[in-house]
Amino acid sequence: MDGDERLWLSYQETTEIYGLSRGTVWKLISAGEIRAAKVGRVVRISRSSIEQYLDQQDYTKSVRP
């Protein structure tokens, strides 16, 4: 597993990789939509839970032709 395949990401890595704002990530965590773990003062966000959440948000299903 290389550096690009880490299972847990920081807020900054999450915003850079997925193009979400820090506030949006925080709201998703607070709502229980994505998983996060706090280790000491550091928050790590589950990459798989973000990808699963985004996969469920299929924009094309809500757009009419």
Whose CA is closest to 52, among 36, 34, 29, 31? 34
Can you give the pLDDT at residue 30? 97
Return the exposure string of 9-28: e unless at least 16 CB atoms fall within 10 Å of the residue's CB, then b. bebeebbeebebeeeebeeb
What is the tally of structural domains in the chain?
1
Is 0.75 topped by the overall pTM? yes
| pLDDT value, residue 62 | 63
pLDDT beneath 50, residues of the chain: 1
Expressed as residue numbers, the domain containing 39 is 3-62
Find tokens 């589950």 and name the residue: 46
Q: What is the Cα–Cα distance from 45 to 11, expressed in whole angstroms?
A: 7
pLDDT tens string 47-65: 999 999 999 987 766 666 6
Q: What is the pLDDT of residue 65?
A: 60
For residue 25, the domain's CATH number is: 3.90.105
